[in-house]
């Protein structure tokens, strides 16, 4: 009898493991082709000679920290980078942390206020980036956030026609390993779980569909999820394809290392140069 009980428990355990495996093991998928933009010498010079505002949080610092190395690698003079909410009177890349992480609507409103208090009149181009922590499954309404994002940039573009406004896709986190996914499946949710990148992909899909003109969109998520060979880091979950940050670009699960920061910085400069045309 004891052997039968042990066997039954073993079979039950195997069944649970198989069921959990079906939940936690996202399948690699073929992602949409993407070519990461690279700044030309002309792009670098154009942006350095312009007035730019960048509203962001921590991943934005990863990009800005790598910006001098992008210019140095091409023997070009880097732009003046100033952390401030004061409108610039000379060419500079002015940036500031906007709002609070986890409150995307508050960040969007904060950006709008900074623009309308004089920044939009002073700069040639302005960029609004949310953070990966602003878009987490079970915490936000994607449609509400996207609508506020779109409508705010549209109103600013209408009211300040001489300023270019650049949208940004939500940054991504690394794909989590089997242990973290298993913990999530048994109720020990991981803040970096795949369900969050899947939700970010819903937001990013809406953003990509809205901003299709050259210079209108900095697709940071696509940059993060495209490796050096051009392959996308893509997975399938519940019938949809979503993307994750390439491990080679990651400083930690949510931030860019120096290599990833440099790739993103070069791409940002290329997009800014298009926006300035």
- For 97-156, write each residue's pLDDT tens digit: 999 999 999 999 999 999 999 999 999 999 999 999 999 999 999 999 999 999 999 999
| Phi, psi for 89 (deg, rounded to 5) | -105, -5
Q: Could you tell me which of 49, 122, 132 has the C-alpha nearest to residue 84? A: 122
5 — pLDDT class (breaks 50, 70, 90): very low
Q: How far is CA 114 from CA 80, 153, 268, in A?
A: 20, 13, 21
- Inside any domain, residue 22: no
pLDDT at 186: 61
- Inside any domain, residue 2: no
Number of domains composing the chain: 1
Q: How far is CA 253 from CA 19, 187, 197, 228, 240, in A?
A: 26, 20, 12, 19, 22
Q: Could you tell me which of 6, 48, 107 has the C-alpha nearest to residue 265? A: 48
- Contact of 96 with 114, CB cutoff 8 Å: yes
Question: Lowest mean pLDDT: which of 84-88, 184-188, 239-243, 262-266?
Answer: 184-188
- Inside any domain, residue 202: yes
pLDDT at 20: 47
pLDDT digits (tens, 9 = 90+) for 51-100: 999 999 989 999 999 999 999 999 999 999 999 999 999 999 999 999 99
Structural element, H or E, at residue 253: none
pLDDT at 197: 96
CB-count burial class (<10 Å; 0-12, 13-18, 19+) for 209: exposed
Give the structural domain span for 178: 29-276
Question: Lowest mean pLDDT: which of 13-22, 51-60, 205-214?
Answer: 13-22
19 — pLDDT class (breaks 50, 70, 90): very low
- Inside any domain, residue 16: no
Domain containing residue 259: CATH number: 3.40.50.1110
pLDDT at 27: 76
- Inside any domain, residue 182: yes
pLDDT at 187: 59
pLDDT digits (tens, 9 = 90+) for 156-200: 999 999 999 999 999 999 998 766 666 666 656 667 889 999 999
- Inside any domain, residue 6: no
Mean pLDDT score, 246-262? 97
- Inside any domain, residue 199: yes
- Inside any domain, residue 4: no
């Amino acid at each position: 009898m004891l052997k039968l009980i042990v066997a039954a428990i073993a079979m039950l355990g195997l069944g649970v493991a198989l069921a959990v495996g079906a939940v936690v093991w996202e399948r690699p998928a073929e992602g949409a082709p993407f070519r990461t933009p690279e700044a030309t010498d002309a792009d670098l010079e154009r942006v350095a000679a312009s007035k730019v505002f960048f509203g962001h949080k921590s991943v934005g610092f990863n990009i800005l920290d790598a910006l001098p190395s992008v210019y140095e690698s091409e023997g070009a003079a880097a732009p003046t980078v100033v952390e401030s909410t004061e409108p610039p009177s000379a060419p500079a890349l002015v940036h500031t942390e906007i709002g609070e992480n986890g409150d995307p609507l508050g960040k969007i409103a904060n950006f709008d206020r900074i623009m309308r208090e004089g920044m939009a009149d002073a700069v040639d181009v302005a960029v609004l980036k949310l953070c990966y922590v602003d878009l987490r499954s079970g915490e936000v309404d994607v449609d509400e956030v996207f609508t506020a994002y779109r409508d705010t940039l549209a109103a600013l573009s209408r009211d300040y026609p001489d300023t270019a406004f650049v949208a940004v896709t939500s940054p991504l986190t690394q794909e989590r390993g089997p242990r973290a996914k298993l913990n999530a499946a048994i109720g020990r949710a991981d803040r970096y779980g795949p369900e969050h990148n899947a939700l970010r992909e819903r937001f990013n899909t809406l953003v990509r569909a809205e901003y299709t003109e050259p210079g209108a969109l900095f697709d940071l998520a696509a940059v993060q999820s495209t490796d050096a060979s051009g392959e996308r880091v893509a997975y399938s979950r519940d019938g949809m394809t979503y993307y994750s940050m390439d491990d080679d670009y990651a400083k930690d699960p949510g931030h860019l290392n120096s290599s990833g920061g440099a790739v993103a910085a070069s791409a940002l400069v290329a997009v800014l140069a298009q926006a300035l045309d």
